[in-house]
Structure 1
């Protein structure tokens, strides 16, 4: 059932309330329905400025990113993965996709042709839990949790959750999931 099921789960952490203030990016690559690689990058946000509240959420500080690459360099690496698999999945894609859009706009970069799916919308559609946060859902399905609010770990948790959602719903192809689909 999962042969040919390829996507890239993605997650971002931001330094401030601005969606273009990405300070960490993470991806988890799924090929033929299996997680084959997970990677994360620290990213230097504009002026390396951070909000106290954002630091409290993810624990990333300005000194962690002062020598990190800016978004365009990290995005170029992510684009290499998207060349073969132009499909993203995010938990609460409204946030992560807006981070991409705002960052592309801020740095005046082209928007690639990429489809995306939202594992949060899939969970709300398929399950009847009182909570649909990534951590809660992973606990319900015994999906190993990494460090929550770190981009690489959250991306892999999202990938594994989305694979579970596909299995539970009996889907064969991503295009069947039109209620949680969008275009970058």
Structure 2
């Protein structure tokens, strides 16, 4: 099938992903059709299949891209001299990274149930790699005697859930700046690990 005259895959492909991201976040994956995505992009529904095999592939691609960017940006950060500094760095990084991506965060957490089993398994591996970063920090702090947590896995999940929750209420231009939110959340994370 030939592309519409004037269309460019390097332009239309990202527009398809952007439209899917926005529509999935606004209406939920199950409620969005390929026709709606096509309408948002301004192409015929059949033209979408030049850019993605199906709606499931779009959802998977959005989640995978989000997690790969998360892992890459976190890995690119300079090392921390000790577990306390590493935990503060993780806390602030998580809040700042996710605050810039509210739609991606919503989809990454709320649409997992709509992934096929094989896609879910791959996304779960990426999520675990990120969770392991925090759990390794907590284990190091526990071994050094600076953190007091009963179970590092439970503490990991609790801290990530708390930090990700910022996206549900924080709005730029609101009562608190993002820097103030980071400071308050860092104080809560410190207390959660016994500092």
TM-score relative to the length of structure 1: 0.35
TM-score relative to the length of structure 2: 0.34
Greater helix content: 2
Greater strand content: 1
